[in-house]
């Protein structure tokens, strides 16, 4: 493609041992990648009134870029920035915002936000007014959570029952990816009438939901890209392990992708020991002793899924990024 890549994520604290995920990141980051060079173009921390009082985490989760606007989300805020300067234009925050994972504009101009901490998706007016909060399991979120609590001040609401993390649109209607159910389901009206996309298996969570060239793409955290043809829904699973490491070792937490024809950029975050030990049963059983010391860095990698082959890798840790949440091409050059 022509133009730069934008990588959205966070910089971790130097000492991350013992830190829970909701205290792990010290700075939200956007990186610009062009001509093999990586530079920080936006660094951000939420103000105290929009985050927990004790050791808050500052990171950007999945974003959406349009021709002139970057829609970013922190744990508790939606940011609108000019593109490509990333000058901050507006900050939107509501008491129900907790562990936001994605923001995207809808075809009608409203904004959809994955409010992961409340297992819900919020719909906002273009001006930022909260129009609707819908549970990702079809329930009313206020049956479980209290409307009187400022959840921006709550460090975590885990465990989540669905963990919605990405919103995308098919034929104008919103869908959401659910990490715990390993699927994507429609949101318009009650969760009904359209069969879900089954993406993961076992303990393998899923992310993303990108439409490109008649296909719908998802990542699985275990290092696989799942692609569905539309409208026939024929699915393919591409295992990136065998393309990346000949020794069969782990390749990182796979999340964030940018399809470009037969080639696809994929984001990988370094797997930390605490994550290995506590969470990744799909990975833990396959590790040799001491394997967590041999983790590849946080990076983006370019694959040709048709050949298949690994074409390029770009290390992001020198620029301070410890976790990748989304990848974007330059809308003006796509």
* Cα-to-chain-centroid distance, residue 126: 22
Domains of the chain, first to last: 5-329 (2.130.10.10)
Q: What is the pLDDT of residue 287?
A: 45
pLDDT at 233 over 70: yes
Structure tokens at 156: 């975590």
Report CA-CA distances (Å) from 148 to 96, 140, 143, 309.
9, 15, 12, 52
Percent residues over pLDDT 70 in the chain: 87
At residue 260 the predicted structure's pLDDT band, cuts being 50, 70 and 90, is very high
pLDDT at 108 over 90: yes
At residue 204 the predicted structure's pLDDT band, cuts being 50, 70 and 90, is confident
Q: What is the pLDDT of residue 22?
A: 63
Q: What is the pLDDT of residue 200?
A: 79
Helix or strand (DSSP H, E) at 7: strand 5-12
State the Cα–Cα distance between residues 276 and 265, nearest whole angstrom.
Answer: 24
Averaged pLDDT for residues 213-220: 95
For residue range 119-147, list pLDDT tens digits in order. 999 999 999 999 999 999 989 999 999 99
Averaged pLDDT for residues 271-284: 50
State the Cα–Cα distance between residues 202 and 219, nearest whole angstrom.
Answer: 15
Q: What is the pLDDT of residue 17?
A: 57
Q: What is the pLDDT of residue 282?
A: 46
Higher pLDDT, 331 or 284: 331
pLDDT at 284 over 70: no
For residue range 163-200, list pLDDT tens digits in order. 999 999 998 899 999 999 999 999 865 555 678 898 97
Q: What is the pLDDT of residue 262?
A: 85
pLDDT at 278 over 60: no
pLDDT at 288 over 70: no
Which segments of 227-272 does DSSP mark as H helices, in order?
241-244
- Residue of 118, 116, 142, 113 lying closest to 128 (CA atoms): 113
For residue range 67-107, list pLDDT tens digits in order. 999 999 999 999 999 999 999 999 999 999 999 999 999 99
Averaged pLDDT for residues 304-316: 94
Structure tokens at 155: 């460090």
State the Cα–Cα distance between residues 178 and 309, nearest whole angstrom.
Answer: 29
Higher pLDDT, 332 or 293: 332
Query: Is the alpha carbon torsion for 149, 25, 161, 207 positive or negative?
Result: positive
Model pTM above 0.95: no
């Amino acid at each position: 493609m022509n133009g730069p890549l934008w990588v959205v994520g966070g910089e971790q604290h130097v000492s991350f041992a013992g830190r829970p995920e909701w205290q792990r990141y010290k700075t939200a980051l956007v990186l610009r990648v062009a001509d093999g060079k990586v530079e920080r173009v936006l660094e951000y921390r939420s103000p105290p009134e929009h985050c927990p009082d004790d050791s808050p985490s500052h990171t950007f989760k999945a974003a959406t870029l349009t021709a002139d606007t970057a829609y970013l989300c922190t744990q508790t805020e939606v940011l609108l920035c000019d593109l490509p300067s990333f000058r901050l234009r507006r900050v939107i925050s509501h008491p129900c915002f907790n562990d936001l994972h994605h923001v995207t504009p809808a075809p009608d101009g409203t904004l959809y936000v994955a409010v992961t901490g409340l297992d819900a998706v919020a719909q906002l007016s273009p001006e930022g007014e909260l129009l609707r909060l819908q549970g990702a399991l079809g329930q009313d979120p206020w049956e479980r959570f209290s409307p009187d609590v400022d959840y921006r001040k709550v460090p975590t609401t885990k465990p989540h029952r669905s963990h919605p993390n990405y919103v995308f649109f098919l034929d104008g209607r919103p869908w959401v990816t659910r990490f715990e159910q390993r699927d994507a389901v429609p949101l318009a009206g009650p969760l009904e009438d359209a069969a879900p996309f089954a993406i993961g298996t076992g303990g393998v969570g899923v992310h993303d939901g990108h439409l490109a060239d008649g296909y719908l793409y998802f990542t699985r955290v275990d290092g696989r890209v799942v692609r569905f043809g539309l409208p026939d829904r024929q699915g393919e699973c591409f295992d990136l392990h065998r393309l990346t490491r000949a020794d069969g070792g782990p390749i990182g937490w796979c999340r964030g992708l940018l399809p470009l024809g037969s080639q696809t950029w994929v984001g990988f975050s370094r797997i930390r020991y605490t994550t290995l030990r506590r969470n990744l049963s799909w990975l833990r059983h396959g590790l040799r002793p001491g394997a967590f010391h041999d983790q590849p860095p946080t990076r983006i990698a370019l694959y040709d899924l048709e050949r298949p082959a690994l074409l390029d890798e770009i290390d992001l840790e020198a620029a301070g990024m410890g976790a990748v949440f989304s990848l974007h091409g330059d809308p003006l050059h796509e």
